[in-house]
């Protein structure tokens, strides 16, 4: 079985664990649900509302290979 190690804000982890406890699942089960749904739908199974639309579009453009490239950080 694979293992994933991630760094996450302590407060976010604590708050998420409270929600998962109320749902009767643990963090591993919740993340597994998220990953399985992502694979099934071939997209994020949630619509993030914390990121500006322009950033999302720019990321999609870059991942599609249609984004601009730069030779230096200054550019």
Q: Is residue 14 part of a domain?
A: yes
Q: What is the mean pLDDT of residues 1-17?
A: 91
Q: Is residue 68 part of a domain?
A: no
Q: Is residue 1 part of a domain?
A: no
Distance CA 50, CA 44 (A): 14
Q: What is the pLDDT of residues 24-60, one digit of tens each?
A: 999 999 999 999 999 999 998 987 776 677 777 888 8
Distance CA 16, CA 61 (A): 31
Q: Provide the domain count of the chain.
A: 1
Q: Is residue 19 part of a domain?
A: yes
Confidence of residue 9 (pLDDT cuts 50, 70, 90): confident
Domain ranges, residue 25: 10-63
Q: Is residue 2 part of a domain?
A: no
Q: Which percentage of the chain shows pLDDT scores above 70?
A: 96
Q: Is the pLDDT of residue 62 over 70?
A: yes
The full DSSP string for 10-72 is HHHHHHHHHHHHHHT--HHHHHHHHHHHHHHHTS-SS---SS-HHHHHHHHHHHTT-S---SS
Q: Is residue 23 part of a domain?
A: yes
Say if pTM beats, i.e. exceeds, 0.75.
Answer: no
């Amino acid at each position: 079985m694979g293992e994933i190690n991630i760094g996450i804000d302590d407060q976010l982890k604590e708050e998420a664990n409270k929600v998962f406890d109320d749902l009767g699942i643990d963090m591993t089960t919740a993340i597994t649900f998220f990953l399985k749904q992502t694979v099934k739908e071939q997209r994020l199974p949630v619509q993030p509302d914390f990121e500006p639309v322009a950033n999302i579009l720019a990321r999609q453009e870059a991942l599609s290979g249609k984004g601009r490239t730069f030779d230096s950080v200054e550019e």
